[in-house]
Amino acid sequence: MGKVIETTFRVRYAETDASGVVYHANYIVWFEHGRGEWFWQQGRDYQRDVEGRGLNWPVVEVSARYLAPARYGDCVMVRTWLEQVESRAFTIAYEILNAETRQVLCTGWTRHLNVDRDWRVAKLPDDLRELMQG
């Protein structure tokens, strides 16, 4: 497991369904939030350091396992870390917890490819691989 980044926020009403439980797709949005914080907290800017170099990291696969519901007003924590890095792809893992009780609500991962301006798979630049491998 690489460096773990944690970010905490409160569940907004718009993220819940009619029963007051967080709608399942919002956990994927929270994965993205955690991924962005993972990059920011290492002193990097995705727009400058990845897109500014003509690269993109599209999500090509996602997995989520829902263990317990989050509800409106709950304080949740997203824990994010690099699970695996390869020459042209990497996997980031997530754990979403109730920040107050520490109950795990959801676990998952996203797999990303490194692609160039023409959306061709490309080797990850050495400096970004080094950042990821920490």
Calculate the average pLDDT of the chain.
Answer: 94
Going by pLDDT thresholds of 50, 70 and 90, the confidence category of residue 121 is very high
Going by pLDDT thresholds of 50, 70 and 90, the confidence category of residue 134 is low
**Is 17 designated active site?**
yes
Asked whether residue 44 carries a pLDDT value surpassing 90, the answer given is no
Asked whether residue 98 carries a pLDDT value surpassing 70, the answer given is yes
Classify the C-alpha dihedral 99-101-106-111 as positive or negative: positive
The active-site residue, picked from 17, 45, 116, 127, is: 17
User: Does the domain formed by 5-133 have CATH 3.30.360.10?
Assistant: no
Q: Which strand (E) or helix (H) includes residue 98?
A: strand 89-98
Task: State pTM to two decimals.
Answer: 0.92
